[in-house]
Amino acid sequence: MTDPKRPMVLVTGGAGYIGSHTCKILRQRGRDIIILDDLRIGHRAAALGAPLIQANLIDREKVQEVFEKYQPSAVVHFAAYAYVGESVTDPEKYYFNNVMGTLNLLAEMRRAEVDHLVFSSTCATYGTPDEVPIPESHPQRPINPYGRTKLMVEQMLHDFDHAYGLRSISLRYFNAAGSDPEGEIGEDHQPETHLLPLLCQVALGQREQIDIYGSDYDTPDGTCVRDYIHVNDLAEAHVLALEALERGAGSNAYNLGTGRGQSVREAIEAARHVTGHAIPARECPRRPGDPPALVAGAARARDELGWTPKYQSLESILETAWSWHRAHPSGYDEEGES
Ligand SMILES: NC(=O)c1ccc[n+]([C@@H]2O[C@H](COP(=O)([O-])OP(=O)(O)OC[C@H]3O[C@@H](n4cnc5c(N)ncnc54)[C@H](O)[C@@H]3O)[C@@H](O)[C@H]2O)c1
């Protein structure tokens, strides 16, 4: 039950992968939350019984109703589409959902005088970086519509602060990975495009092999390098960002990564080690738009938010992913609750 006298946090996209892990931690910290998710991608079971309004941010009247009924004091905003490839073939879908949906949300926040927002941004706003690790001050030049929608929202947030005093923290995640160490929730995307769950699916015999897209990059072993960050570490950063806003911090943006990169080949080796399966791999041509290396310069989040990722090795992240996938080989669907 929610207590009407306690401040409530509205979590959009809270039934999705990162949102559900953040909701679990917010509730463990004694926060009252209300989830708004249309469940087109997310899963009801991932909400773990938290109050959930099944609605789309595009439905402005519904969003207004939620603000009037629950009177949240802050918003954590995950809801968006996040497939880079699909954003290239169907940009309308991405601009409409990610930009229009957020504009509705911000307009209703303004109307309800809610002035704290934590936003899910992405390293995809940097495009192909000039330097690695990438500092927050690096120019933002996204190379696909998905990244552009996220940059547009960051720009909207800047303007809403300037004009209306709506303070926000944009968290630019690198590669979210892993699962709830207690095994209650995990990553279940249809289709799956992320490397770690795909490796688990190969280990489970659900896929024949893992495809390596490009082995001639200018990286130590020729494959792409990414900064994998555990989903619970991301969740912790949201709690810290929210607390900072509540203490009066100004708007800001932070990279969230470990600051260390791992190549695709290193990830495959780690998956062989963690799962005990062979994980056959196949070398394929490069995919257009894949930067060779994306690694976070993560000092600002450490220095200003006091955030330190607990999961420092890819193996420790993979272990949590593997135990979720082994226990839920068909994802949430097997429980008939998605
Ligand atoms: N997964 C990553 O590695 C990663 C990296 C950088 C940024 N991000 C961003 O983090 C956020 C969460 O990512 P995720 O991997 O958990 O994605 P996800 O798809 O699992 O979760 C997004 C949730 O938002 C909901 N949603 C989408 N549009 C909606 C709308 N208009 N109205 C209501 N609900 C809506 C979906 O049903 C889903 O439950 C996204 O904004 C994504 O762009 C993710």
What pLDDT does residue 338 have? 40
Per-residue model confidence (pLDDT) at position 318? 98
- Asked if 118 and 168 touch (Cβ cutoff 8 Å), the reply is yes
Domain ranges of the chain: 8-176+229-256, 195-226+259-297+308-335
pLDDT greater than 80 at residue 6: no
Architecture of domain 8-176+229-256: 3-Layer(aba) Sandwich (3.40)
| Average pLDDT across the chain, whole number | 95
Question: What integer pLDDT is reported at residue 7 of this predicted model?
Answer: 84
Q: Where do we find the tokens 């979720």? A: 324
Catalytic residue selected from 94, 146, 311, 332: 146
User: What pLDDT does 334 receive?
Assistant: 46
15 CA → ligand 1 middle, Å: 9
Mean pLDDT value of segment 267-275 = 98
CB 174 within 8 A of CB 295: yes
Residue 336, pLDDT score: 47
pLDDT at 3 over 70: no
Which residue's CA lies nearest to atom 12 of ligand 1?
78
Q: What percent of the chain has pLDDT over 90?
A: 93
Residues 13-71: pLDDT tens digits? 999 999 999 999 999 999 999 999 999 999 999 999 999 999 999 999 999 999 999 99
**Is 195-226+259-297+308-335 a CATH 3.40.50.300 domain?**
no
- Residues whose beta carbon lies within 6 Å of some atom of ligand 1: 12-13, 15-19, 36-42, 56-58, 78-80, 82, 97, 101, 120, 122, 173, 175-176, 189
- Element spanning 119, H or E: strand 116-122
Residues 89-146: pLDDT tens digits?
A: 999 999 999 999 999 999 999 999 999 999 999 999 999 999 999 999 999 999 999 9
Per the CB < 8 A criterion, the answer to whether 7 and 243 are in contact is no
- Any catalytic annotation for residue 146? yes
Query: Nearest 5°: phi and psi at 138?
Result: -60, 140
Q: Model pTM?
A: 0.97
- Residue 73 neighbours by CB distance under 10 Å: 18
